[in-house]
Structure 1
Amino acid sequence: MAGTLERVAVRRGQEVREGALLAALDTGAAAAAVRQAEAAVEAARAQLALAEDAFARTERLRREEGASEAQATQAKAQRDLAAAHLAAAQAQAEQARVHLSHHRLVAPFPGVVTRVPDGVGIAVSPGVPLVTLVTTRELVLETSLTQSEAAELRPGARVAVSLPGTGARTADAVVTVVVPAVDAATNRVPVEIAVPNPDGRFLANAYARADLPRGAEREAFRVPAAALVQRTGGHAVWLAGGDGKARALPVRLLGEEGETAVVVPEGGAWPEGLRVVTDPPIGLAEGAALAQVGG
């Protein structure tokens, strides 16, 4: 809505209820348009009253053979046209009232004001944010997981969320969305977690930590960090069999400690008879012969 800012009714950091006035534009021109539209409705209503009276008199004369059929038809058409003009005027008046109501910006939900204009009298353009309002009663934590991690997570799972900066913590957060697609920019699966915040301990837009539910327990393995390679969709460890040929084993990385990495094979078990390639050469391909193999 374009116009001139006349009033800012809130301050930054203020909590507001749903429906509270946030700001208002100058209503001079819009209010005049409403009065003009309402006057047009009254004029159209008067024209309809005259047309209905003329039609009624013409009908009486026609029954008494004092008016022709053509005259009666014309009177009826004039009445219907006046009724249509009244309907159009009423629609324009309603449109003018709606336009006037848009000069008041009210809170669509309870929340906290995080941004207000610098002052009044400025020109406001359509599509340009005027006041920023955020809800704090329930926040949404946006994060992402690897494909293997996301495969074990389902909407509805309870999550513990904490705010390192303040120490705020809740165990009642719930996973609401696990997007069934990989983000092309990060190669990870987006996840959304609803975080209840009735007492306002969690701050909007703050960095938070989520402790996701563990999947089924699996045996983890410690391998040299140099043996770990990043591949599309996750990680892998190069292994060598008794034939001395390379084989990439997809793994889930649990963590790195110095020169070692803790991994879990995607298949759940470590293949028997295969050993880790401690220092895989650049460009190593599946099935390539290996000169050296580390245990």
Structure 2
Amino acid sequence: MTEKTHASLAIPARDPDEGHGLPPRNVEWRRAKIALLIVLALLALGAVRTVVVDMMHSRSVAATTQQNAKQFVNVVTPTQTDNGGETLLPGTLRGFVESPIHARATGYLLHWYVDIGTRVKQGQLLADLDTPEIDQELAQAVAQRDQTSSSLGLAKSSLERWQQLRQRDAVSQQELDERQSTYNQDVANLAAADANVRRLRQLESFKRIVAPFAGVVTQRNVDVGDLIDAGSGASRALFALAQSDPLRVYVQLPQAYAQNVSVGQHVVVTQAELPGQPFHGTLTHISGAIDVPTRSLQVEVTLPNPDGRLRPGAYVQVALPAAVHARLLVPGNALLFRAEGPRLAVVDANGEVHLRKIDIAQDLGQSLEIESGIEPTDKVIVNPSDSIADGDHVLIASPQQKGKKAS
């Protein structure tokens, strides 16, 4: 009994859960700790990744900001004008003789014989007028002259008889003087009547509108049946006539070139609508004074036009021998307008901007001819921003950057 009791005491106690196949409790805790550690490690790795990405993004933003803060500019080097002694200036073609044709007599247009573009000779009939009032006045003047002529004949014969009577002392000197006065008055009346007839005949001749010079008709402003008023005040011109060979070209020469032109110099005239066709003329007249408002000198060029390719009124370019030394040319879009005057932005070797005061000799449209203020080796900024100022640091754009800007 005692041995059985001891034997039973020596047998270890069994876990209530051992018979059911479940893991021990400390194993569960161990697995939970491992899972927690894995989760914490993953969170730590995510946090580290987020911090690294933020740092990289911050550095990228800073680099981009620094890159964008750099000011890139395009520059050009001034080119020198050739010392060919030619200055290109605008001019206007005008007929050597131009005139509106007005009527000297009042009447109705009976017929016109020429139209625009017609070449006419001097004295050629352009139009006829119907002038009934002038015709009646002329007929009346002729009748009055005939009446005065008859009175003069009677006065003359009467004077001759009284002169004979005076020689025989049959009449007094007073009576002879009266007959002499009547005769002299009739002579004067006849002269006045003749003058009036000549005036009306000359006025009647104006019913024929003729060309005062040879040229081409550039305007016709009337038609058959129009009432034509005499004179050129409020009345319209019947025709406009221009002599197209030779032509005159009027040019306003800047004061800077006024001392370098003289009568007889050869000039070349070109027209944009006739490319590759230069026309050669001669400088024939120079104004004796500088025009005060424009500070320019008017010159006149005579230009032969035998084939009529050039037409009066056209805009042309005239190459005048006015330049005396080479100047620098820069693009027109490099100019800066400031309150102190025109400026050009120049970049030095260190990338620093300097605003140069310049003197513009001539504005050629797409380019500027500079008298002074820059050197041939300067790098001039093209299309500078309005905010650019002295001392700014800029970078000269490379060809690749220029291509990116263009795109």
TM-score class normalised by the smaller sequence: 0.7 to 0.9
Q: Shift in Å at residue 65 of structure 1?
A: 1.1
Q: TM-score, normalised by structure 1?
A: 0.76
| Structure 2 counterpart of 1:48 | 152
Q: 2:291 aligns with which of 179, 182, 191?
A: 182
Alignment partners' CA distance in 1, 2:338 and 2:120: 52
| Structure 2 counterpart of 1:284 | none
- Contact 1:183–1:190 at 8 Å: present in 2 too? no
Task: Looking at secondary structure, tell me which structure has more helix per residue.
Answer: 2
The CA deviation string for residues 26-78 of structure 1, in whole angstroms up to 9 with x for no partner, is 13322232222122222212211111110110010011011111110100000
Q: 1:28 aligns with which of 118, 132, 137?
A: 132
| Structure 1 counterpart of 2:327 | 220
Using the aligned pairs only, state the percent identity. 26
Q: 1:64 aligns with which of 168, 185, 194?
A: 168
Would you say 1:156 and 2:264 are equivalent positions? yes
SS at match of 2:195: helix
Alignment partners' CA distance in 2, 1:2 and 1:141: 36
| Structure 1 counterpart of 2:30 | none
Q: Which amino acid aligns with 1:6?
A: L
The CA deviation string for residues 111-152 of structure 1, in whole angstroms up to 9 with x for no partner, is 111211352001112322111111111111223222212332
Alignment partners' CA distance in 1, 2:146 and 2:310: 56
Over 3 Å counting, the alpha-carbon distance change for 1:221 and 1:211 in structure 2 is: closer
Would you say 1:204 and 2:312 are equivalent positions? yes
Would you say 1:171 and 2:280 are equivalent positions? yes
Matched ranges for 1:80-95 at <5 A: 80-95=184-199
Q: 2:117 aligns with which of 2, 6, 13?
A: 13
Alignment partners' CA distance in 2, 1:148 and 1:236: 18
Q: Which amino acid aligns with 1:215?
A: A
Q: Which amino acid aligns with 1:107?
A: A
Q: Which amino acid aligns with 1:77?
A: S
Q: Shift in Å at residue 250 of structure 1?
A: 4.5
Q: TM-score, normalised by structure 2?
A: 0.57
Over 3 Å counting, the alpha-carbon distance change for 1:148 and 1:229 in structure 2 is: farther
Alignment partners' CA distance in 2, 1:86 and 1:47: 9
- Contact 1:55–1:79 at 8 Å: present in 2 too? yes
Over 3 Å counting, the alpha-carbon distance change for 1:30 and 1:222 in structure 2 is: closer
Gaps in structure 1 of 5+ consecutive residues = 239-245, 282-289
Specify the structure having the higher radius of gyration (Cα). Answer: 2
- Contact 2:249–2:302 at 8 Å: present in 1 too? yes
- Contact 1:8–1:117 at 8 Å: present in 2 too? no
Say what the alpha-carbon RMSD is for the aligned residues.
3.6
Alignment partners' CA distance in 1, 2:111 and 2:311: 28
| Structure 1 counterpart of 2:177 | 73
Alignment partners' CA distance in 1, 2:187 and 2:392: 94
Q: Which amino acid aligns with 1:33?
A: E
Alignment partners' CA distance in 1, 2:366 and 2:131: 65
| Structure 2 counterpart of 1:285 | none
